[in-house]
């Protein structure tokens, strides 16, 4: 019953997405595809009120999302992406403003998620795996809530939980390759810094694959990983990250990947001041920013994933309990993009995406995962 209710509600979302595509002057193919999806469900205009009521799982006469984030809602990157998309959907459809609970510590996740579920929300979107452990119990305790988690690779499936995942090796390789292309064009140095939290397994996968992509451009290029936070999951230590970047600059770094949460944007600003090549960590909107300058946007945007999943629910190809895995070169959502590429760089990046999609680096990515998760 819950699946059909959410699918009906997606009709309202889809109508807004079609309008948004037209308003933003996006490609004709995108608009046509979205319109076609709507036309297969009903001929006339969508009754957003009826669809919204179908999503009103608790019968209180309103629709409201809950959003749970491990870091700050306004980090300008990974955490904010999901918050912004859910907020946009709510505003466009006349839903209540989402209830956002951010900066959730791992040890407090069960309490915070339970408190959020008790606030009469109809759907809860969980932004990261570090706060997802309680979900196996909560989906049973609160079965009328639609639960969604952008949990990342390796999180177990659950019939009461919709999930999105991606492949960090694929994404990080493209980030390293894009960095290498820009370093080659700049010609002022051969070293890049990868600044993270505390050498967690998924960080290891990211920086090992990043290094692999970097050295695919030039084997002489080097990458240094620098941990800056307290174990575990402290991606918000601005003081530690700033000290790390200043040290990396002293040691000759000409590029930085701030693989961070709350400390991400302060490092981007510092990188701008020092003239370093810098990139986003998740956001697909980084290249459009005008308040700070990005050279690369490394896309694993939770808002984009949610957007796609809502459309697939509408199309009947995604259901509660399903896991949607996004792949570089196959899906448009993940992967690195150079913000102002030359024609040669555009061709080079397209070639790498195609090779990843074809499985050319599967053995290399397997080796990266082996080192990251089992020390192999």
pLDDT in tens, 143-161: 999 899 998 777 889 999 9
**Quick one: pLDDT band at residue 323, thresholds 50, 70, 90?**
very high
Is the model more confident about 314 or about 368? 368
Q: At what angle do helices 168-186 and 201-217 cross, to 10 degrees?
A: 40
The whole-number pLDDT of residue 45 equals 36
Q: Is pLDDT above 70 for 63?
A: yes
pLDDT at 96: 94
Q: Confidence band (pLDDT; 50, 70, 90) for 373?
A: very high
The mean pLDDT value for 346-370 works out to 98
The pLDDT score that the predictor gives to residue 115 is: 97
292 vs 152 pLDDT, higher one: 292
Whole-number pLDDT of residue 205: 97
pLDDT at residue 18, rounded to an integer: 44
For 138, the enclosing helix (H) or strand (E) is helix 135-141
Could you name the CATH architecture of 2-167+302-326? 3-Layer(aba) Sandwich (3.40)
Check if 2-167+302-326 and 168-300+333-374 are the same fold: yes
Of 222 and 89, the one with more pLDDT? 222
Residue 46 has pLDDT above 80, yes or no: no
Exposed (0-12), middle (13-18) or buried (19+): which is 301, by Cβ within 10 Å? buried
**Quick one: CATH architecture of 168-300+333-374?**
3-Layer(aba) Sandwich (3.40)
Dist CA 67 CA 218 (whole Å): 42
pLDDT mean over 240-261: 96
Q: Is the pTM value of this prediction over 0.85? A: no
Lowest mean pLDDT among 23-27, 35-39, 233-237, 368-372: 35-39
CA-closest candidate to residue 135, choices 98, 105, 163, 175? 163
- Backbone φ and ψ for 92, nearest 5 degrees, come out as -65, -30
Token pair listed for 83: 């918050």
Q: If pLDDT is split at 50, 70 and 90, which confidence band does 61 have?
A: confident
Domain boundaries along the sequence of the chain: 2-167+302-326, 168-300+333-374
Say if residue 265's pLDDT is above 70. Answer: yes
């Amino acid at each position: 019953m819950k699946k059909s209710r959410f699918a009906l509600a997606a009709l309202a979302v889809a109508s807004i997405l079609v309008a948004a595509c037209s308003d933003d002057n996006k490609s004709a193919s995108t608009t046509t595809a979205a319109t076609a999806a709507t036309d297969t469900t009903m001929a006339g205009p969508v009754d957003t009120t009826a669809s919204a009521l179908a999503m009103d799982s608790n019968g209180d006469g309103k629709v409201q999302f809950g959003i749970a984030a491990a870091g700050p809602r306004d980090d300008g990157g990974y955490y904010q992406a999901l918050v912004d998309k859910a907020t946009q959907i709510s505003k466009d459809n006349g839903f209540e403003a989402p209830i956002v609970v951010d900066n959730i510590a791992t040890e407090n996740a069960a309490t915070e998620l339970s408190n959020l579920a008790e606030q009469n929300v109809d759907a809860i979107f969980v932004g990261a795996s570090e706060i997802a452990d309680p979900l196996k119990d909560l989906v049973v305790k609160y079965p009328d809530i639609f639960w969604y988690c952008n949990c990342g690779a390796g999180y177990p499936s659950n019939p009461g939980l919709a999930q999105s995942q991606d492949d960090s090796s694929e994404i990080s390789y493209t980030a390293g390759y894009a960095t290498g292309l820009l370093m080659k064009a700049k010609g002022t140095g051969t070293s890049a810094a990868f600044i993270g939290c505390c050498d967690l397994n998924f960080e290891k996968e990211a920086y090992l694959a990043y290094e692999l992509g970097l050295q695919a451009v030039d084997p002489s290029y080097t990458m240094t990983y620098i941990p800056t936070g307290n174990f575990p999951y402290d991606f918000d230590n601005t003081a530690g990250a700033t000290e790390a970047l200043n040290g990396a600059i002293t040691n000759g770094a000409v590029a930085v990947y701030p693989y961070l949460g709350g400390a991400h944007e302060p490092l981007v600003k510092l990188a701008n001041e020092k003239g370093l090549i810098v990139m986003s960590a998740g956001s697909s909107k980084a290249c459009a920013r005008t308040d700070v300058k990005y050279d690369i946007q490394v896309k694993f945007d939770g808002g984009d994933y949610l957007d796609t999943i809502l459309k697939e629910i509408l199309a009947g190809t995604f259901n509660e309990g399903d896991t949607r895995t996004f792949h570089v070169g196959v899906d448009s959502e993940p992967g690195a993009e150079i913000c102002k590429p030359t024609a040669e760089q555009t061709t080079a990046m397209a070639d790498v995406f195609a090779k990843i999609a074809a499985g050319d680096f599967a053995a290399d990515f397997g080796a990266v995962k082996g080192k990251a998760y089992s020390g192999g």
